[in-house]
Amino acid sequence: MRKGAWIVALAVAFAAASHAQLARQLPANGKLGELIGPQPYPLVQINNKVLRLAPGGRIINEQNRTIVHSYLPQQAHVYFVEDMNGDISRIYLLRPDELENLQRAR
């Protein structure tokens, strides 16, 4: 009897955890921007400025998964980090709650 109750409790806990969106730890040295339109690889347009994605640069979607350049949406709010050469080393596609928190923090 107890074993069955534990299994049910664990199943409920895992189901609840899978629906919850955990807060991501975004780097402190990033900038908020808006991704606009498709650009040929390795270029991205953020805030009407065409920037280069650094070699080894990562694009991280709303589910915190790494995606390739060809999967970038037409438009999105992003948080990006530039390297010492001015190239983009990381782009985070933001969820609405993350965008709201970043705008509030400004």
52: CATH: 2.40.50
Q: Is the separation of the CB atoms in 26 and 60 below 8 Å?
A: no
pTM of the model: 0.78
Q: Which residues contact 4 (CB under 8 A, 6 or more apart)?
A: none
The count of domains in the chain is 1
Domain residues for 38? Answer: 2-105
CA separation for the pair 50, 1 (Å, rounded): 63
pLDDT tens sequence across 7-59? 766 666 665 554 455 788 999 999 999 999 889 999 999 999 999 999 999 99
